[in-house]
A and B are shown apart, each in its own frame.
Chain A
């Protein structure tokens, strides 16, 4: 069975600094990896996904993530953080073809300090 771990419950970054939100995964086959962001009392907004191809994936709002197969990681990054990036971030994995059953990590609360 697939699983996702987000080792940090909370990440605090100063505005303008680079940010990283960590994610590691476990699947038996080829992973489909996703990052979503959630604002208070809202649903999830899609940021980016890795299906195949280039290990560096660029997504919405200047975010990017790097797929590392040997380390089974898919960390989310942004070169320069904005206060408006403060939100709850979820990493998710789906095993095999298509976005079937998504398994989510526990979430990381990102706070960008002015």
Chain B
């Protein structure tokens, strides 16, 4: 149980285009989902926290207009990187917290974004 999937697993896009990444909780209801980014050989940095049905809370320094987060249902959150640039190239990881088991976050496998 407690499986989180991400789609796509990797994506290559041209500079200026937008990319959408999906995060799904497959066998539980996720009231809260988290989005992280990880640069090569670095740790995970929390970008934003999204609660189902409400606006995401962004960490300091993260542009909310560039990284659009939608958490429309208890099993799906999406991260859209708008007008992507090469510096947005990174590994994006989502995690989800279950409604009734809030002491743990379950992580997705990650999405590798490369912007040319």
B-to-A contact residues, CB < 8 Å: 4, 6, 34, 42-46, 49, 91, 93, 95, 97, 102-110, 112
Q: A99: CB under 8 A from chain B?
A: yes
The answer on a CB contact under 8 Å between A43 and B93 is yes
The answer on a CB contact under 8 Å between B112 and A106 is no
Number of A-B contacts (CB under 8 A): 53
Q: Which residues of B contact A44 (CB under 8 A)?
A: 44, 93, 95, 107
On whether A106 and B43 interact (CB within 8 A), knowing A36-B107, A41-B112, A43-B108, the answer reads yes
12 contacts between A and B (CB under 8 A): A41-B91, A41-B110, A43-B107, A90-B43, A98-B102, A99-B97, A99-B103, A99-B104, A101-B49, A102-B34, A102-B105, A104-B45
How many residues of chain A are within 8 Å of chain B by beta carbon?
A: 22
The answer on a CB contact under 8 Å between A99 and B105 is yes
Q: Which residues of B contact A49 (CB under 8 A)?
A: 103-104
The answer on a CB contact under 8 Å between B103 and A43 is no
Enumerate the 4 nearest inter-chain pairs by beta-carbon distance, A residue then B residue, closest first. Answer: A98-B102, A44-B107, A43-B109, A43-B107
Residue of B nearest to A44 (CB): B107
Question: What's the Cα separation between A15 and B101 when bound, in Å?
Answer: 36
